[in-house]
Every structure is written in C-alpha cells, then in structure tokens.
Structure 1
Amino acid sequence: MKGADGLSDRDITIIIGAGIAGVNAAESLRKEGYQGRIVLMDSDRQMPYDRPPLSKEWMKGETDDAGILLREPAIYEKLDIDLNLGVEVTGIDPDRKTLDTKNGPSYEWDKLILATGSSLRTLSIPGDDLEGIFYLRRMDDALAIKNYMQDVEQAVIIGAGFIGAELASSMSEMGIDVTIVERSASPMENIFGRQVSASFLDLHRRNGVEVITEDAVTQFNGEAKVEEVVTAGGRRIPCQAVMIGVGVTPNTGVAHPQLEAEGGYAVNEYGETSISDIYAVGDCTSWPYQGAPIHIEHWDHAVNHAKTVSWNIIHPQSTPYTYTPYFWSDQYSTRFQYFGHAKRWAKTVLRGSIESNAFTVFYLDDQNIVRAAFLSNQPKNALPVRRMVQRQRVIDVEALADEGIALKKV
C-alpha cells in the first residue's frame, strides 16, 4: 500500500467487509470529500451484492445476478475505490496500524472500518454431511440452493425466523411442498409478542406450508442425498432438500485484546470502537440507542450507520448517530415492517384486524410511550409510525386503537 520509500502521499482508510455497510461507507467517504486512498476488501470473491433478494426475488428468478449488485462495477473505479476481493483478514496490529491477510500481503492503514457483518449459527446433527442440506448466507450458497432445487418436490426448513420464513414463501411460490420445523411454540414471540407470532404461523399455513412447532430435527437420513428428517417428537418427514436458518451472530473474527466486542464491536454514537482510529458499522456492531447498547441486523441500519460514521471520520465527533431502527420482510403478498426497538413492553395496542392481515401492533412502555411498532400490509402507516417512535411522546391509547382517528392526529 505504501510506495517504494515506505511512505504515502495521502491517508489510507481500509474497510473490511464489502456488504451493504462496507460499500456505503466507502461511497460516503468519497462523496463527502475524503481525499485519501480507500481500500474495500472482502473474503467473498463475488462483486459486492445485496443479500436480502437471495431468499426472495433472486431465488424466484424475478431478478438476475446483475440486478442484485450493490453498485455497477464501474462505480468503484469512478470513485477511486480499490476493491480487493477474495482477501481474508487474519489479524490487526493497532500500534503499527497494519493488518495481515491469509496467503497474502500485509496492509497499512490510517483509519480502519470494520464492516464484517454477521455469521450464521450452525447445527451439528447426525447425517448433516448428506447432499442437499444448505445454509443461506452468501451468493455461493444461493447458487447451490437454486441449482439443486430444480428437481426438488419436498423441502424442510429448520427455523421459523425471517430467513426461514422468506425461503418458505419463495419455495412455496415455486411449487415446492414446504415443511417448517421450529423449536419454540411461538416463533419470534419474544420480539413481536404472541399476536404477531400467531399471525406469522397462520400466514404460512394459509399458503400451504406445514409448520411444526415445539419440535426439533435430530437426524437426517439418506444414502448420498438427504431423503428424510427425523424429529425429537418422532416425526419422519420425507424431503429432497433441507434449509437451515437458525439465526446469525455478529462477525467479530477480526479481533484484538483491546477491541471490545461483546454482542458485536462496541461503538459509541460516532462509530468509534475502543481503539483509536478503528471504527465499526452495521450488523457487526453494538451501538447506543436510547441510553442502552443494542445489536440489530437490519439493511436500513447498515446503510445509515455507514453514512453517519463515514461523515464522522471526515469530521470527527460532529454528528451522533440518532437512527430509529427499521426493517421489512416480504412474504407471499404480505409486507411486514417494524420500527423502533423494544426488548420489553408494558402493553400492546392493536390497530386494524389480525384476521384480515392488515394491522399495526404498537408496543408501549408503562408511561404509554410507543417504543416500537409492527405493521402488516399497512404501508400508509409507516411515516406517522416512524415519527411516533422518534418523538417518544405520551400517547392516548384509546385514540391509538381507533382507526377512525388519523395516526398523525394521535
């Protein structure tokens, strides 16, 4: 990275991770006037791409490989961003400001941004070496699944979280007989409550997906390829493919004794880690929200966090990150949206009808302040709900439930 004399005529910022957070960090740095060298690296060899469509539009053939690229390849050259793919970082030295790579050179940096995303949780189950058992995280995974599914009639999905639910939706629409096996009685109840959890289950069952709860897969059977799964409850489910979606954890493999990484790289409101000149953005972080650290894995957060942190690299500690968490999920003909963050709540308020699949559930604290809200097929509520969560004002609960009163008036 340095010249022959070991010196550089401009600063160097290295970004580890070329997902949505890393790409937006690089682009924002350049667009906000950063004049130094930008090196964007990733262990993946694919051009940077958007991950959410892998389980939805891309899987169903509604968009092609080019359609999920985060940026046109020429953009990186235009913005003078050095894109280094297939590079695995093995260690960093904050004192010397260097990083080492597997089977490659060492790099020097002035500023370092960790945009390493998250890693899949995996299961260890007898028979898990059979062909036809998949995890979905990268483009290579999606390609393998898509190619394999051509002759699949029955598929089992382990886990009823959003990845599993979106895969179930896509595969059901592709004409595949889908069974979901979920360990808990009410999937994602701890995040959204029992009402919303029940609506998830009902949505999938109404679309022909069998959902088995309070059970777990204990064995895969087959000769060379998976042919059935066996559950703890004694069920034997025939299948030709299995997708495992049991969650993710922040990817904090780039480590150092001085780098705090409890539940993600710990950053302050400016994206600064516990080590000077090292920043972290997106899914791999734990960041302050309403006075407490939180960790979320949202596309929208990754974009906005990267932009704010990049600005603070150019203008140190000038703009704190005051983002309201938001994510969405498309399943069948339903769009789910969620604003805010509420690990606990004192009460919920329903606006609309669960039965019609058009409703908003509000999560309030004991002072009747809306901490979060879940929307199902009510996009018109998105803007006033976001404002409500941002403003943190005491709400009239009866008016909140009354669809005859406009939300902006509430």
Structure 2
Amino acid sequence: MSDADTTVIVGAGIAGVHAAESLRKEGYQGRIVLLDSDSQMPYDRPPLSKEWITGEMDEANILLRDPETYERLDIDLKLGVEVTAIDPVRKTIDTKDGSSYAWDKLMLATGSKLRTLSIEGDDLQGIFYLRQMADAIAMKQHMQHVKEAVIIGAGFIGAELASSLKQLGIDVTIVERSAYPMENVVGRRVSEYFLDLHRSNGVDVITNDSVTQFNGDAMVEEAVTAGGRRIPCQAVIIGVGVTPNTEVSHPQIHIDGGYTVNEYGETSVPDIYAAGDCTSWPYNGIPVHVEHWDHAVNHAKTVAKNILQPQSAPYTYTPYFWSDQHGSRFQYFGHAKEWAQTVLRGSIEANAFTYFYLDEQHIVKAAFICNQPKNALPARRMIQQQKAVDPEALADESMALKKVQRSLA
C-alpha cells in the first residue's frame, strides 16, 4: 500500500481502535479515518457492568486510549458520525451529515446492538439497558437512591450487574425465562453452580418466568411477572443479549450471523474487511460468532495485518472470555455448542474447578475455569492441539494438567 492510501474504519470500539493502532504499529503510512456514531471518546465497555458501576473505575480510566494517542498516531478520529451508505464501486461511504469519505480499504468494526423487549410500562423512569457510556452514567446516578433492583436476564452481563449491585448494598432480583441460565453455553451442572452462587450471595434468582408489566407513576415501582409475582423495585436493568450490528452494509456484502469473513477478515466484497463482534468467522472450519473482548482485540490486530499485506496472516484464535462475579473469576476457552462428555477437575463445592467439554473422540472442545487460573494455559493448548485426551487423567488432580497437556504434544 502506498503512503497516499486511505483506510476507513467504521466503529471506534475495541476492535476499531485496536485495528487503527495496529496499522500504525505495522508500519502503515497512509491516512486512517476512524468513525463512530457515539459522541464519547472511545471507551472500554466490559467495565461498565463491573468496576464502573461500583465506583472502582472513573471516566478517565475507562477510555481505551487517551486523546493524545490518536494525535500521536495520526488517526483521524471523528465522533458522532452515522454512516448511511457504502459504495464499493466508487469506494466511498456517506454519512448522515452529508459528508462522504473515500477509501482504498474499508474495515467494518460496528460491534453489536442490544436486543430489546416491549413490556407494558417500559416508558417509566428507572428502566435501563446497558450498552453505551451514556446508559452507564444515567444508571450509576440513578442507583444512588435505589434499595431494590430487578435484572431481566441471567446471562453474563445480568449476572455481573447483580454482583455489582449487591456490592453496593442493593437488594437484587434476577428474572430469567429459562430453567437454567446459560445452560446452552456452560451445561446443566455449571448452570446450577451459578444459580447457587448468586442465591448464596443474597441474589433472588427467579427462573422459568418473565416480566410482563411495570407499574409506577413516573418512576418504576414494581415488576409483575407472568407467574403472578409482584417484585418491588426502584430500578430495572434489561440484559437479554445482543445481536451483530450489521446496519452499515451493502447488498453485495454477505451477512449470516454477522458480516461473513474468511480467515483473513475479508468480506465478500474486495477491499472491505470486518472484525470483532459484528462478524461470523471460520473457527476450525465452522462459521462462528462470538462477542468477546479478547476476540475483538486479536481479530482486529490480525485483520490490520491483512489490510497491509493481503492474505498474509490467517486468524487462528481460540475464543476466550472471562467474568467476575461475587469475588470469583471465571474463564472460558474454546467454543462448544454441543458436546458428548464433560469432565470435572477440582471441586464445585470448594468453588475451585475446571470443567471440560469433550466430543465423541475425547477431544477437548472447550473448558470453563473457576478460580483456577493456573489451568488456563494448558487448557487453551489442549483445545488448540485437537488431540484425544484420557478423561480419567483429565479429572485426576494428582496429575498436573500441564503434564496431561504435554502428553498430547
């Protein structure tokens, strides 16, 4: 690429910022334009449900980079800009304010958007979705006067928020429509562990039920469920998941569970790339979509290399995410929609264990780790090696997990 080239990145979240920064670190001398519809300086979203809400992190510390970094790297950061159209022939994008940007390479790093619910009374004050900094600021201010809160959805965001609000001394009720939250991700046994963890920490978790109505005058005062429960509350947080944000698009860009990209981050249109939460990408030959901080960073860095040197760096990442709840650290490696066998190493009762998900050939597809960080590296390597393991050895704590992993090499 020549020094006169322009790379435009749509989305200044985790993936977009790391892609822009990586382009410079890899030696790109052309112009970099980083666009985002949010008017806030680019910030880190995961802490919004944890350190930000509890006051352990302030607005300055939550920024992905300080403003001077964009100037030093000569990144043209434009905030409050909404992209309305892509023209892959003219190689331009248009924005809502009437501006047009020419590009030689275009990266879509648009992240994800919230799933929303339509519930009677959801226009009352005190009902929140948590996605952007503005949501977090409004929620944090409101929570100063809250004694009871309801969280709809027991996924990882809802669970983290429950832990954070309990830390602030707020009585929390989670309402989850399924019988076992996150069972499709972690399985029944670990799901039961999560239920016990929250209940033992004073969180009232209601399963097999859903909120159908909010009551109150101007402010929410009560949530009513389909099962007839009436839950007093002065705040409600709705966390029922996200979907890939693919609104910035063109008919020629293939979308299926996100922008469909190959192992180099290329979309179906030449010179248009995509990275992060908004994509569907090949993992072990199967298209997957994950919404993890670690994936967004590593995918963006890899795609940046391929923008500079096309098809030079295939993406060979093992999915990983973590969550902090009630003083425990959870880590998950791999990606398993289904499994033939599970193996427990450690003790669920002692709150220190690693739970492995194996296929029919005894190959480790994923691992869930609770308060055993030393198991992270060998577990990740087992997943990467894709070789059969002895389930008995995997469960035997007298044998170091590193030794089990090395025996596969």
Q: Could you say whether these structures have the same fold, taking a TM-score greater than 0.5 normalized by the shorter chain as the test?
A: yes
Match of 2:407 in 1: none
1:241 aligns with 2:241: no
Q: Which runs of structure 1 show a deviation greater than 2 angstroms over 4 or more consecutive aligned residues? A: none
SS at 1:67 equivalent: coil
Tell me the amino acid that sits aligned with residue 315 of structure 1: Q
- Which of 218, 222, 225 is residue 224 of structure 1 equivalent to? 218
1:376 aligns with 2:367: no
**Structure 1 residues 214-239: Cα deviation after superposition (integer angstroms, max 9, x where no partner):** 00000000000100000000000000
- Which of 112, 118, 125 is residue 124 of structure 1 equivalent to? 118
- Which of 167, 175, 194 is residue 188 of structure 2 equivalent to? 194
Q: Normalization by structure 1: what TM-score?
A: 0.97
**Structure 1 residues 61-104: Cα deviation after superposition (integer angstroms, max 9, x where no partner):** 00111111111110100000000000001111111111111123
Tell me the amino acid that sits aligned with residue 208 of structure 1: G
- Which of 16, 29, 33 is residue 39 of structure 1 equivalent to? 33
The Cα shift of 1:121 comes to 0.0
Distance 2:144 2:332 in 1: 34
The Cα shift of 1:319 comes to 1.1
Tell me the amino acid that sits aligned with residue 232 of structure 1: A
Match of 1:110 in 2: 104
What RMSD in Å do the two structures reach over aligned CA positions?
Answer: 0.8
Distance 2:3 2:108 in 1: 24
Distance 2:85 2:208 in 1: 42
Please show how residues 353-392 of structure 1 align to structure 2 within 5 Å.
353-392=347-386
Match of 2:159 in 1: 165
Higher alpha-carbon deviation: 8-17 or 336-345? 8-17
Tell me the amino acid that sits aligned with residue 12 of structure 2: A
Asked whether the 8 Å contact 2:92–2:100 carries over to 1, the reply is yes
**Structure 1 residues 175-208: Cα deviation after superposition (integer angstroms, max 9, x where no partner):** 0000000000000101110011011111111110
Q: Report sequence identity in percent.
A: 77
Match of 1:401 in 2: 395
Asked whether the 8 Å contact 2:44–2:64 carries over to 1, the reply is yes
Unaligned 5+ segments in structure 2 are 405-409
1:81 aligns with 2:75: yes
The Cα shift of 1:378 comes to 0.6
The Cα shift of 1:407 comes to 0.6
Distance 2:74 2:310 in 1: 23
- Which of 304, 321, 331 is residue 315 of structure 2 equivalent to? 321
The Cα shift of 1:9 comes to 7.0
1:69 aligns with 2:63: yes
Distance 2:210 2:52 in 1: 29
Distance 1:104 1:401 in 2: 61
Match of 1:25 in 2: 19
Please show how residues 204-353 of structure 1 align to structure 2 within 5 Å.
204-353=198-347
**Structure 1 residues 115-155: Cα deviation after superposition (integer angstroms, max 9, x where no partner):** 00000000000000000000000000000000011110000
Distance 2:83 2:65 in 1: 23
Distance 1:400 1:106 in 2: 57
Match of 1:5 in 2: none
Match of 1:98 in 2: 92
Distance 1:398 1:156 in 2: 43
Tell me the amino acid that sits aligned with residue 27 of structure 2: G
Distance 2:155 2:91 in 1: 39
Tell me the amino acid that sits aligned with residue 114 of structure 2: L
Distance 2:229 2:98 in 1: 49
Asked whether the 8 Å contact 2:3–2:29 carries over to 1, the reply is no
Distance 2:87 2:281 in 1: 23
Distance 2:43 2:97 in 1: 25
SS at 1:193 equivalent: helix
SS at 2:296 equivalent: helix
SS at 1:301 equivalent: helix
SS at 1:227 equivalent: strand
- Which of 136, 145, 150 is residue 151 of structure 1 equivalent to? 145
The Cα shift of 1:393 comes to 1.1
Distance 1:100 1:39 in 2: 13
Distance 2:228 2:3 in 1: 67
SS at 2:52 equivalent: coil
The Cα shift of 1:356 comes to 1.2
